[in-house]
A and B are shown apart, each in its own frame.
Chain A
Amino acid sequence: MSSDGIPGPDSEVALRVKAMESLLLEKGLVESSAIDALIDMFENRLGPWNGAQVVARAWTDPEYKAWLLQDGTGAIADMGFDAVQGEDMVVVENTPQVHNIVVCTLCSCFPWATLGLPPVWYKSAPFRSRAASDPRGVLAEFGTEIGADTEVRVWDSNAELRYMVLPERPTGTDGLDAEALAKLVTRDSMIGVTKVAPPD
């Protein structure tokens, strides 16, 4: 499909994917229903909208927030988001005093169950090296200014635990319920590279 919506020749990547899919199916290594289920998983079922619901519940329910920060795995499982790459979760809270940012310096470990697959920049060598050594510089490039008095806390998720940031609830959201709040929460704010913007 070309960018104007008119069907055109497939890109090289698309052709390669189609060729691989055909081969896997013909050799009986993969069932087509499994491919459909995998696409459904990452398109519709695992993604940042899950994490956003966790964040919104924590913003509106102090008991849940305390549970989430103490036992991220259990509290997230309570929402039903305990699928693959969410087996052992740690949730870290952003406050006016502490700003958390998550990186995987060795590869691209990411909490799929709550945030989906990682964005391309998260897997890139420049982000992986500079988020560790110069987090304030990286944050500034994302438009996120952190005060000199605020502690920047980097989490390198290179081992078996997966990390998610509980961003600060923006101002001007007092009247919003959890459903409306969840719509404000972005993937990037749960990685910790941005803050959640107030509603328009």
Chain B
Amino acid sequence: MTRKVDLEVVNRLYQKAGAVRLKMDIEPKFKPGDRVLARNINPTGHTRLPRYVRGKEGVVRRDNGVFHLPDARVAGDGDQPQHNYSIRFEARELWGGDAPATDCLNIDLWEDYLDHA
């Protein structure tokens, strides 16, 4: 049954409508400073692991907390809550030696996308 879009639905958008952070006490697998390797996986379905970081090595900058793994939710595989981390990749690791040594790219990745390097 589709809910009618009325004024109440719209006004809820002002009240943290899309909050998806989970208040779950789950032991993190990684900590800031850990060197990690983004898995080289090639799923046919939805993932938030872009191709350009697959197989690349980075460093955990921050533990963002616990969120549902979108890959599993979209596939209908149920909830797989887990930590998500801000990972710093050096520009040269991603784009090769012509990239400036000063620069980096940071991306938020779920635990299932990562292994210890």
Contacts and interface: CB of A to CB of B under 8 A. Distances in A.
Given A154-B104, A160-B21, 15 more contacts: A45-B14, A83-B15, A87-B16, A87-B19, A87-B20, A135-B103, A152-B102, A155-B105, A155-B107, A156-B107, A158-B108, A159-B67, A159-B108, A159-B109, A161-B86
Given A84-B18, A159-B110, A160-B21, A148 B102 contact: yes
Given A133-B95, A148-B100, A88 B21 contact: yes
Interface string A22-61: 0010001111011001100100010000000000000000
A49 B110 CA distance: 33
B11 interface: yes
A48 B104 CA distance: 26
A12 B12 CA distance: 32
B27 to A, nearest CB: 20
Give the interface centre of A148, A150, A154 by most chain B CB atoms within 10 Å: A154
Contacts of A159: 48, 64, 67, 84, 107-110
Contacts of A82: 16
B5 interface: yes
Contacts of B20: 87-88, 160
Given A85-B18, A136-B100, A105 B10 contact: no
A105 B108 contact: no
Given A132-B105, A151-B104, A31 B48 contact: no
Contacts of A132: 52, 94, 105
Interface in B25-63: 48, 50, 52
Contact of B104 (A84, A106, A153): A153
Interface residues of A, number: 38
Contacts of B104: 151-154
Give the interface centre of A84, A136, A150, A151 by most chain B CB atoms within 10 Å: A84
Contacts, number: 113
A149 interface: yes
Nearest to A38: B10
Interface in A70-105: 82-85, 87-88, 105
Give the interface centre of B6, B9, B10, B110 by most chain A CB atoms within 10 Å: B10
A36 to B, nearest CB: 9
A103 to B, nearest CB: 9
Contact of B5 (A30, A84, A87, A134): A30
A160 B108 contact: yes
B100 A152 contact: yes
A34 B7 contact: yes
A38 B12 CA distance: 11
Given A30-B4, A105-B50, A150 B107 contact: no
A186 to B, nearest CB: 23
A108 interface: no
A157 interface: yes
